[in-house]
Amino acid sequence: MFDLTREGLPNRPGVGFKARHFEALMADPGPVGWLEIHAENYMGAGGRPQAQLAALAERFPISVHGVGLSIGGAEPLDADHLARLKALVDRIAPARFSEHLAWSTHDTSYLNDLLPLPYTEETLARVAGHVSEVQERLDRQMLLENPSSYLAFTESEMTETEFLSELVVRTGCGLLLDVNNVFVSATNLGYAPESYIEAFPLAAVGEIHLGGHDSDEDDRGAPLLIDSHGRAVADPVWALLAMVLRRTGPLPLLVEWDTDVPDWPVLAAEAERAGRALDRLGAGQ
């Protein structure tokens, strides 16, 4: 079994790395203590992406965040993709590796989205098998991220928090708690985000994600939040983060901004806000 350690990443703010911020980050990272990269963007043979990653990895702890492994998928894991991940992880020795409770590959087609699965004994056994396979292949513990949901499966037999808790027990994996996803899913499926946090196995959390969401409506005019990562983190998500941190103590906090990526000072300001959330914790409650 793997150690559940939080020593991999510092308990400081990090940001999702975007190539356009490279010079600014190298000149002055401000509050940023670590970076997360999307694994699939760094699987090319060479050129600027690999040169930037090598320079960043010398300077910052790196979290490798996969989006394409399809861990929740019905099909076996893609051996070629697992080999690419292994090569990347071996090359840069990241402080963390994480992936999603979702699927993205179907019949050899890669659909480029994080798609949902029903929570049943059958899917639990399958996902646990995939998580164990990844951890053995990469020879390290992985963190699994809770998804943002727009709908629910009638065939689900357990809640998402029960499903994730059982995965932790069966595989020894850690969890990446995306607080924005909690808020998005809770709003979309009509439950209180605080009750989700209360049921979440917080002791297994090794990293937190924060991101912005967009607002839409479903057929009946009910709010439908979209996990777009295209704007600042919403106030209720910051409030939910404070609730989580009061229970867990300090954790590595990542700000994600993937679409309509802003200039560096805007993202740095979000990271500073995350830093203040950690500072308030240190100041004592």
Question: Least Å distance between CB 267 and other proteins?
Answer: 20
Q: Which is nearer to other proteins, 3 or 216 (CB)?
A: 216
Strands 13-16 and 109-115: unpaired
Contact flag: residue 117 with other proteins (CB under 8 A): yes
Interaction mask 32-51, other proteins, x per CB under 8 A: --------xx-xxxxxxxxx
Contact 265, 253 (CB under 8 A): no
Contact flag: residue 181 with other proteins (CB under 8 A): no
Question: Least Å distance between CB 162 and other proteins?
Answer: 16
Contact flag: residue 222 with other proteins (CB under 8 A): yes
229-258: which residues touch other proteins (CB under 8 A)? none
The rounded distance, in Å, linking the Cα atoms of 248 and 29 is 26
Give residue 52's Cα distance to chain centre. Answer: 22
Contact flag: residue 79 with other proteins (CB under 8 A): no
Packed helices 160-171 and 121-138: angle between N→C axes, nearest 10 degrees = 40
Contact flag: residue 58 with other proteins (CB under 8 A): no
122 sits in which H/E element = helix 121-138
Q: Which of 20, 59, 91, 106 binds other proteins (CB under 8 A)?
A: 106
Q: Which of 16, 29, 68, 211 binds other proteins (CB under 8 A)?
A: 68
> Taking Cα atoms as reference points, which of 264, 265, 268, 256 lies closest to residue 229?
256
In one-letter notation, the amino acid at residue 105 is T
129-148: which residues touch other proteins (CB under 8 A)? none
**Burial of 225 from C-beta contacts in 10 A (0-12 / 13-18 / 19+):** buried
Q: Which of 4, 24, 115, 202 binds other proteins (CB under 8 A)?
A: 115
The rounded distance, in Å, linking the Cα atoms of 229 and 250 is 23
Residues contributing to the site for other proteins (CB under 8 A): 40-41, 43-51, 67-70, 74, 78, 80-81, 84, 104-113, 115-118, 123, 150-155, 188-191, 216, 218-220, 222, 224, 226
